[in-house]
Structures are given as C-alpha cells and as structure tokens.
Amino acid sequence: MAQKKLSGEVFLPSKAVIEKATVKDWDVLNKRAQEDYEGFWSAEAENLHWFKKWDKVLDESNKPFYKWFTGAKTNIAYNCLDVHLTTWRRNKLAFFWEGENGDFKSYSYYYLNKYVCRFANILKSMGVVKGDRVTIYMGRVPELVFAMLACARLGAIHSVVFGGFSVEALHERLEDSKSKVLIVSDGSYVRGKIVDLKGIADEALARAATVEHVVVVKRTGHDINMEAGRDYWYHELCALPMGNQGCEAEVLDAEDPLFLLYTSGTTGKPKAILHTHGGYMVGTYASLKYVFDIHEEDRYWCAADPGWITGHSYIVYGPLLNGATSFMYEGAPSHPYPNRWWQLIEKYGINILYTAPTAIRGLMKYGDAWPQRHDLSSLRLLGTVGEPINPEAWKWYHRVIGRGECPIMDTWWQTETGMFMITPMPCVPLKPGSGGRPFPGLIMDVVNEDGESVKANEEGFLIIKRPWPSMMRTIYNDPERYVNQYWSRYPGYYLTGDSARRDEDGYYWIIGRVDDVIKVSGYRLGTAEIESALVSHTSVAEAAAIGLPHEVKGNAIHCFVILKEGVEATPQLGEELRKHVGHEVGPIARPENIEFVSSLPKTRSGKIMRRVLKAKALGVDPGNLSTLEE
C-alpha cells in the first residue's frame, strides 16, 4: 500500500524487517479491528484454550465495570504451560536466566511446568485456595516466575511487591491485600551487594497481622532469621513428597481475579489494580504477538522487573502464552561494567530487547565504545516503555544498539491497561519520541477540559474511548475510587492521567503525568507515599514532594519539609530524612534533595500546590495563582 508522506523526522522499516514481519500492513489489521472490534478480539481468544467458550465477548451491562468473555472458563497458567506440553514445545526452552554473579539456569516448558506444579502443591499444603491472596517479594530470580504461575494455577490472587520497595511499602500491601502467605527470597544481589529482603520482610510482618506462612527461597545464603512455625525454606518443602506430584489447573471463570498490582495514583495510598484471567490473557497474548513479533526461533529479553506490570505482562504471561523463549537477568545494566547487557546479548544471541528510556540514557552516558566491542548483530527488534523517550536517546538506541536497522517499539501503556495501548509494529514508519498510533481497534483521543478533541499538535488530556480485554476491572477493596478516578472526569471514557498531543499523521506524543505521580527511572511513585514517609519521621511536621527533570532518571524527587517546633534544620537531618524515606518506601523513592522551608503554598481548602513549588524550583511562571491561600 502506498504510504502517505509523514511529517517530521521519519524512519522507515528496512526491507529485511518487513520481510520477516508477521503483520505487513498495519492499516489492514486496524481496519479489521475497528470494523468488527468484538470479532477481532474473539478471533484472538480462539487461539487460546478455554475449558468452556464465552457467551458474550464484551459485557457492558454494568459500566464502567466492563466484563470480557463472560460465561467462559479458562486458566491463564494452563495456557502458559499445559497447552504446550502436548506439542513439540514441550522440549522448547521456556526461559533461561543468568544471575548477577554468573549463575545460570534454564527451563524447558516441560521442566517449568514441573516447578510450577510443585510450588502450587506447596501453597496448597499451606491452605491456599482459590481467591486467597499471596504476596511475593523477591529479586529477579526464576522462583518468582514459578510462584506467580503457581498462584494462577490454583486461582489464588498474586500480589507481587517489587524487590526495590521497603518496609512500609511492603507492610501496606500485605495489609491491604490481607495476604495469607508471603513468598520471599532471603536476599537479592544488587550491584554486588546483598539486599536483605527477608530482614525487610520481618520488619513489615511485625506491622502486618494476616500472614500465616512465609516461604523463603534461598538465593544469597546470608544469615537470616527463620521464625519456627511461620517461616519455611522453599528447597526443604520441595524435598518433601507432597511437593512432587502434578497439580491440575483450577477451572476458572474468565472474570476470576488473577492478580493485584499496587500502583501509585492521584492521592493517598497506592491502590491495588485488579486484573482477571480471561481478558488479561487475550490482551497480553495478542499485543505481544503483534508488536514484538516473536518467532519460534527468537530469543526475547524484556529487561524490566517482574515486580512491575511490564514484567507481569511481558516477562511472564505474554511470552509463555506465545510459547516464546525468553531471557531474564538478575542484575543491573552497568555492573560491574557498562557492557554487561551487551555482553549478555552477544553471549545468548538475543533477538529482541525491551527496556526503558532511563536504562538507555544511563548506558548512552558511557559512550559508544562499550556496545561496539560486542557483536549485537542478533538483534532484530528493540523496545522501550515507562516514560517518554527523548529523541537523542531514541536515535542512539537505534543507531548504536540497533545498527540503524532495528525498529524501536515505543510502547505506551499502564498498570491499569495491562497491555500496549499506543505502539508501533515492526512494519510501520517510526518517529523518534512518538509511540505512533493506538493498537488496532482501540479508540483514543486528546481532549480539553470540556472533553472536546483538541486540534492536531495541541496538548490535552489523553483518554480511551472504548473498553479493551486486558483493562483493569476495579481497584481491589475500593470500587468507588475506580469509578471516581478513571471514569468520572469524562463519563464513559477512561482517563489515563497523562497529557499528550496528536500530530497531523495521528501519531501520539506523550508529554507526561498530569496528576501527582512521579516517574523516577520509569518507576511509578506517588507524591503521597513519599510525603507520608517523611511525616512519619519524628522531626517532620509537613512535607511536599515534586519531580524535577533529571538527565538519566527522567525525574528526580525533590522534597520540601517543614520541621516541628524546636527541631533544627541541619544537613545531617536532611541526610537522615533521605535515608528514612529509603527505609520506609524503598531506595527508588529516596529524595535527591531535601529543602527545609517554613511554609508551603496551599489552596484555600488546604491542598498543597505542588505545581507552584515546581514552577518556583524551575524558575518558570507558576501560572494561575487565584486559588492560592497566601
């Protein structure tokens, strides 16, 4: 099909890429999906296994609590594992793993299934049944994948807490989900040091009462406390006979919950986004298939952490549903040297690499020589996610890592959406810094305050105008907040919380969050979490957190603190407060800078005006100040 001339800087796919691409014409696929949206999704669903087929593809009877594939019976873990065991994929590599210290493990589909069943039986023996919540708090190790799939197999709801979080963050999530079991690793390796995850978990457990059993996976082998009757070593449980039989996957409703994933929102505590077996499965399966176009012989590497949505959808579920071979690496990209990732790509012949702008910028900083010393010719496709990618980083990634030949899939999506929402496909022309157009069939828009579409290239609020299968179903324990936060601003439409513009070619350009979410190195944090950690310190009366531009991290956290009467503002105290936030929320939330102030700008109703603080810090015009109290 003749391409219309696109505006701005455009990178066209090479002939070789188009030849290999499964989808050769994006417009044809999109047209089909737009014209028969439910037909498109049911055709995708047909590629997966259902114990019983659906009565209805999309059920809109109780908006905005949409349901998908109602009446159907399935199990996502069955589709990740069992379906492959009766085909040649039984002997295919499901995933392989390298530790930061060079340890190596690999699992065929056959072998992975054994491990998952054994883990499921361990959970069963602890009384875990369908609907129970299980929290998982580990580094990037294979057992994390086994644990998630084991929960899914039983119909238990997993809640993975990122290993970079700390005591209070873990406590809050244990308490809100009322988890019965916690699965934890003794520690994790981060840049050559051991993070004492079990120690952090012990502190969190002392604050949370619902956990009955703790399964401890040995990774670092450092000294930890094991509480008799509560804590059990995973490897010892594995050695018991009850752990070694198979384990039938529970026959579940398409709408049965699969997992909770806590994420930061506009105000208050992190909220538990709830995803289900059926719709989430169809969405992650189809989106990964079309966008990263994984062929049987490919080795795919999503370098995210399983503790975030990217890991859930595109390290664990999406690749296994597609019968892919994927790689997981435990450590950081630049440890011990900035060639670590390039070395791994060369060593394992990785074909597809999916990472985040912060990692790209971080590695770009070290110059071209590090990647150029390695043979990266196995790479065919690249990907990025998490925050807007600046065109310089995009071009570096394209030219130096991708030899100027690998298209970059800049995928925009959210914990809430479960799957890619705005994304290229290998066959489409790319513009550095833009993710292109919505995934086939989706309808998105950029609107003003009144909900009217804005003109091309004007900034506005990004909304989604049609439900999609892998959408969140609710906020666990708080359906009201689900309605208020996402569906009330523009009734009938989903509010993303991002601002964006759309150019004359229909390409979307994400500008950033318009709420109190700060993206630090692609990690999603809320001002409220950081502020409440600060005020939990005995010296602090009030606090406000904002994000300021940072060359590598995208944003860095800056805090303004009012101390209690009589407490002296010293650099030592500033340092102590930074550490305190690190201890309570996690190292990723540690503020870059603490500034002591005597007052904070507030609205007449007492809301801190972070926008004003940010403008002041950046030395720009703070805009409308009519609601400012003083």
Q: Which of 411, 485, 521, 527 binds ligand WTA (CB under 6 A)?
A: 411
- Taking CA atoms, 489 is separated from 157, 462, 497, 508, in Å, by 30, 12, 10, 21
CB 524, min distance to ligand WTA, A: 4
Binding mask 570-609 for ligand WTA (x = CB under 6 A): ----------------------------------------
- Distance separating alpha carbons of residues 398 and 406, to the nearest angstrom: 6
Phi-psi region of 516 (alpha: psi -120 to 50; beta: other; left: phi over 0): alpha
- Distance separating alpha carbons of residues 141 and 104, to the nearest angstrom: 11
Q: In 3D, which of 409, 436, 456 has the Cα closest to residue 510?
A: 436
Q: Which of 510, 543, 577, 588 binds ligand WTA (CB under 6 A)?
A: 510
Please say which residue, 359 or 385, places its beta carbon nearer to ligand WTA.
385
- Taking CA atoms, 69 is separated from 45, 102, 260, 505, in Å, by 9, 44, 20, 34
- Distance separating alpha carbons of residues 419 and 313, to the nearest angstrom: 7
Q: Which of 415, 470, 485, 555 binds ligand WTA (CB under 6 A)?
A: 415
Asked if 318 is part of the footprint of ligand WTA (rule: CB under 6 A), the reply reads: no
Find out whether 92 and 84 touch, Cβ atoms under 8 Å.
yes
Q: Six-digit token pair at 412?
A: 């925009």
Q: Six-digit token pair at 156?
A: 């238990």
Packing angle, helices 571-584 and 167-177, rounded to 10: 30
Instruction: Report how far apart the first and last C-alpha atoms of the chain are (Å, whole number).
Output: 61
Find out whether 161 and 262 touch, Cβ atoms under 8 Å.
yes
CB 482, min distance to ligand WTA, A: 15
- Distance separating alpha carbons of residues 208 and 179, to the nearest angstrom: 10
CB 356, min distance to ligand WTA, A: 8
Please say which residue, 298 or 410, places its beta carbon nearer to ligand WTA.
410
DSSP strand pairing (299-302 vs 325-329): parallel
Task: Identify the H or E element spanning 333.
Answer: none
Asked if 309 is part of the footprint of ligand WTA (rule: CB under 6 A), the reply reads: yes
Window of 395-403, 412-420, 468-476, 575-583 that interacts with ligand WTA by CB under 6 A: 412-420
Q: Which of residues 48-87 bind ligand WTA (CB under 6 A)?
A: none
Window of 10-18, 304-312, 324-332, 469-477 that interacts with ligand WTA by CB under 6 A: 304-312
CB 513, min distance to ligand WTA, A: 5
Q: Which of residues 142-201 bind ligand WTA (CB under 6 A)?
A: none
DSSP strand pairing (460-464 vs 494-502): antiparallel
Please report the beta strands in 90-212, taking only residues with DSSP state E, as ranges in sequence order.
Answer: 93-98, 104-108, 133-137, 157-160, 181-185, 188-190, 193-195
Q: Which of 100, 410, 445, 531 binds ligand WTA (CB under 6 A)?
A: 410
Q: Which of 141, 274, 385, 612 binds ligand WTA (CB under 6 A)?
A: 385
Please say which residue, 42 or 415, places its beta carbon nearer to ligand WTA.
415
Question: Would you tell me how many other CB atoms lie within 10 Å of the CB of residue 398?
Answer: 19
Please say which residue, 333 or 386, places its beta carbon nearer to ligand WTA.
386
DSSP strand pairing (352-355 vs 381-384): parallel
Find out whether 246 and 213 touch, Cβ atoms under 8 Å.
no
Please say which residue, 318 or 388, places its beta carbon nearer to ligand WTA.
388
Q: Which of residues 239-278 bind ligand WTA (CB under 6 A)?
A: 263
Window of 76-84, 240-248, 308-316, 473-481 that interacts with ligand WTA by CB under 6 A: 308-316
CB 36, min distance to ligand WTA, A: 28
Identify how many contiguous H helices and E strands the chain contains and give both numbers. 21, 30
- Distance separating alpha carbons of residues 120 and 553, to the nearest angstrom: 38
CB 277, min distance to ligand WTA, A: 20
CB 288, min distance to ligand WTA, A: 13
Q: Which of 163, 187, 435, 586 binds ligand WTA (CB under 6 A)?
A: 435
CB 486, min distance to ligand WTA, A: 12
Window of 231-239, 245-253, 316-324, 386-394 that interacts with ligand WTA by CB under 6 A: 386-394
Please say which residue, 187 or 418, places its beta carbon nearer to ligand WTA.
418
Phi, psi dihedrals of residue 293, rounded to the nearest 5° = 45, 50
Residue nearest to ligand WTA (CB): 415
Binding mask 514-543 for ligand WTA (x = CB under 6 A): -----x----x-------------------
Window of 29-37, 214-222, 250-258, 409-417 that interacts with ligand WTA by CB under 6 A: 409-417
SS3 545: strand
Q: Which of 370, 413, 493, 507 binds ligand WTA (CB under 6 A)?
A: 413
Helix-strand-coil split of the chain, %, nearest 5: 35, 25, 45
Q: In 3D, which of 355, 448, 352 has the Cα closest to residue 394?
A: 355
Asked if 412 is part of the footprint of ligand WTA (rule: CB under 6 A), the reply reads: yes
Task: Give burial (CB, 10 Å; 0-12/13-18/19+) of 570.
Answer: exposed
Asked if 345 is part of the footprint of ligand WTA (rule: CB under 6 A), the reply reads: no
Q: Which of 84, 133, 312, 513 binds ligand WTA (CB under 6 A)?
A: 513
Tell me the number of residues near ligand WTA by CB under 6 A.
Answer: 22
CB 592, min distance to ligand WTA, A: 20
CB 177, min distance to ligand WTA, A: 18
Bridge partners, 519 (sequence order): 524
Q: Which of residues 466-505 bind ligand WTA (CB under 6 A)?
A: 496-498
Please say which residue, 75 or 287, places its beta carbon nearer to ligand WTA.
287
Q: Which of 113, 325, 414, 521 binds ligand WTA (CB under 6 A)?
A: 414
Asked if 108 is part of the footprint of ligand WTA (rule: CB under 6 A), the reply reads: no
Q: Which residues bind ligand WTA (CB under 6 A)?
A: 263, 308-310, 385-388, 410-415, 435, 496-498, 510, 513, 519, 524
